[in-house]
Chains A and B, each alone.
Chain A
Amino acid sequence: MNKVMSNKFVIALYTLPALLLILVLIYIPIALSGYYGLMDWNGIGEMKFIGLENYITLVQDKVFWTSTWHSFLLAIFSTVSLLLYLAVSLVLASKIKGSDLLRKIYLIPMLLSSVAIAQLWMKIFDPTNGMANKLLEWFGMENTPIWLADPAIALYAIFIPVIWQYAGFYILIYYAALKNVPDEVIEAAKIDGANPLQIAIKIKLPLISGVFKVTIMLAVVGSLKYFDLIYVMTGGGPNGASEVMASYMYKEAFKLNHFGYGSAIGFGLLVICMLMTLLTSKLTKSNDDVQY
């Protein structure tokens, strides 16, 4: 078997199927969408080459930049909420009673499909019959908000289910990482007289900082290309108040038949995501000296 594995030809042969799939399903489409971005195309008729016109329009398109800003807002919110997830996992990992059950409860939203979550929260946000407003009325609030219909708060209203949706995923990652912190280190700290808070901040956190960095990256990139809940809950409305980059791309390409421009937006989204990935990895690199 070792002989087989050292044969370059066989290695190439074995990686070929996966490589082909990745090429056909990921890299070629990316290149193609960059290419379609150079076209004036309605998705039905013939393509017309128009050079960089779509990309120039894109740079000057206010709606695109507003959507980009919304995507960045989501990225900021989800990065900040990582701290919340971390706090929850610290508690869960510290052998409290019922942590098993709690962990499963936090995992539930991860098991639901995005569309189900969206439908659920649309019911909660219903201005007249929804749970959110019933609760506010019960507390005596009179002019209850109209949530998804109010351009000023629609976007933030969607952030709540988004943050709830990913809680399980990140808590699971942190929980696993925290469980991997060796017991002897913690024992030693305890013997030296450290209290639980000190153990958490000075021992556990530095030891899982690598994982934390990865999750920041995941949260940032995931938020920038976020689509599902926004598409189902508001469709980017009212009037673009909750439009993000991906929903704007979908709208241009599939609703307005601007496939060329939609491809250009998609390519812009890719560039922005790559830049942010680079930036995040640069920013989080500084304290790389703490190694597990």
Chain B
Amino acid sequence: MKKKAFSALLSLALMGGIVLGGCSSSSSSSDDSGKSSGGKTVVKMMHLWPEGSSKAQFTIVDDIIKDYEKANPDVDIQTEILGNEQYKEKIKVLSASNELPDVGITWAAGYMQPFVEGNMFAPLDDIVQKDQFVAGTLDAFSVDGKPYALPLELNITPVYYNKEIFKKYNLEVPKTYDEFLKVVKTLADNGVTPITLGNKDRWTGSMWFMYLADRIGGPEALNNAINRTGSFEDPALVKAAEEITKLVDMGAFVKGFNGLSNDEAKGYFMNEQAAMYLMATWELPNYTTSPDVSQEFKDKIGYFKFPTYEGGKGNIDSYVGGPGVGLFVSEQSKVKEEAKKFVAYLVEEWGKRSVVDAGVIPATVVDTSSGDLDQMYIDILNDLGNATNLTLYADVQMSASVADVHLNQIQALFGGQTTPKEFAKTQEEALAAEE
């Protein structure tokens, strides 16, 4: 009889353990933010740079928080850190249950839209100094002219090339698209892969299309098609698609590009099996500071701006690119004012430290005279200063479902499964359907 009671008790305890175990994690995080221990104002922050995988960014944020707490002894900043993908998932779950942290990280435009529409993010127009940011970056985080997050990172996309391969075939850096085609042809004729492209990821091919669209029809052509003041069947966009088809037919891109991920494609460039690679400036550490890449290879790599198209409206100083992540303040936050103050401070400090410490180009204007930066960074930052326009990645501008249509069409265009006309028509229909 004793035994029976004991086993019953044991199983009850086991069950209790399971049930209570499920609750424990939520109960600790659900206590209200606001005044707590020692009368300090607690600001909760979530970010996506774990110490293990993004040490440089982690350290910058950590230092900034310490400095801020020192300057404001009545404030306690508590961070929760997750990896990129988990962060994306968790933020969705938290917003569904109205438990967003006071300060957090978001992506621009299409990703942010549902949060803003659902009244999750606080407008930040009262803490923004417009001239602090590089032109165009704040717009990506604005809805109806009001910024809902402050951008931290900025990337533009130059064409990286292997100087040694260029030299071997007596090639010059192309300034015009015709010169560019000659470079491609010479390389292809000599059995060298001219361009590596990981178009399984699709946004990679989209950047090629975006540049051609920009150089042929100016930045308005694509932007207007997306914001619905124009049409995707604009002759300039169809022309850009035709140029893509021509490039593919010339054998400009690496074999099997539609099955290669961006990382695999990058391997061809890093192993000097391909001469050119169009990618954003987040690749810069690989060609400058990264200890994992040999200096010999780094010396071989240069970059050039996407060439101009003869008779086209686009300018060589117009770039495809955009801000990466930005900081938001939760609309539901009980310490909104404190959180806003902290965000403004963080963005400013981040701008001072991120290039030198992490090789990340901030969205704020950088002073290149101080600090010992690699020449490639100085060049890129100068180019940024002279940029006439920055076109945000098309798939980021669009809503998730239209972006999917766009990206699929890009893959089909590159793969020859659609014609330039159909390519434009399908996207026009998708955009029109969402109006």
Contacts and interface: CB of A to CB of B under 8 A. Distances in A.
Contacts of B259: 125, 127, 146-150, 154, 234, 238
A143 B210 CA distance: 31
A22 interface: no
Contact of B256 (A17, A21, A128, A251): A128
Given A237-B258, A258-B401, A43 B7 contact: no
B242 interface: no
A148 B201 CA distance: 13
Contacts of B408: 239-240
Residue of B15, B258, B273 with highest tally of chain A CB at under 10 A: B258
A128 B412 contact: no
Interface string B234-277: 00000000000000000000111111100010001000010000
Contact of A126 (B115, B118, B256): B256
A91 to B, nearest CB: 35
Given A44-B96, A149-B260, A149-B415, A4 B18 contact: no
Interface in B1-51: 3-4, 7-8, 11-12, 14-15, 18
A20 B15 contact: yes
A120 B70 CA distance: 50
B8 A10 contact: yes
Given A10-B8, A256-B400, A149 B14 contact: no
B349 interface: no
A151 B18 contact: no
B92 A149 contact: no
Contact of A235 (B7, B114, B200): B200
A258 B318 CA distance: 35
A129 B254 CA distance: 11
A133 to B, nearest CB: 9
Contacts of A27: none
A146 B4 contact: no
A128 B15 contact: no
Nearest to A145: B256
A13 interface: yes
Interface string A140-161: 0000001111110010000000
Contacts, number: 104
B255 A17 contact: no
B7 to A, nearest CB: 7
Given A126-B256, A238-B415, A44 B400 contact: no
B155 interface: no
B400 A128 contact: no
Given A14-B11, A45-B118, A122-B264, A238 B18 contact: no
Interface in A246-264: 251, 255-258
B7 A4 contact: yes
B18 A20 contact: yes
Interface in B68-108: 92, 95-96
A239 B411 contact: yes
A277 interface: no
A240 B273 CA distance: 29
A44 B415 contact: no
A43 B96 contact: yes
A13 B404 contact: no
Given A10-B8, A256-B400, A146 B15 contact: no
B200 A44 contact: no
A37 to B, nearest CB: 17
A16 interface: yes
A100 B4 CA distance: 47
B193 interface: yes
A239 B422 CA distance: 15
A146 B255 contact: yes
A42 interface: yes
Contacts of A3: 4
11 contacts: A17-B15, A44-B92, A44-B114, A45-B114, A126-B260, A127-B260, A146-B259, A148-B200, A234-B200, A239-B412, A251-B404
Interface of B: 3-4, 7-8, 11-12, 14-15, 18, 92, 95-96, 114-115, 117-118, 120, 193, 200, 202, 254-260, 264, 268, 273, 400-401, 404, 408, 411-412, 415, 417
Given A10-B7, A45-B117, A125-B259, 13 more contacts: A13-B11, A14-B11, A44-B92, A44-B118, A45-B114, A122-B264, A127-B254, A127-B259, A128-B254, A148-B200, A149-B259, A237-B258, A238-B259
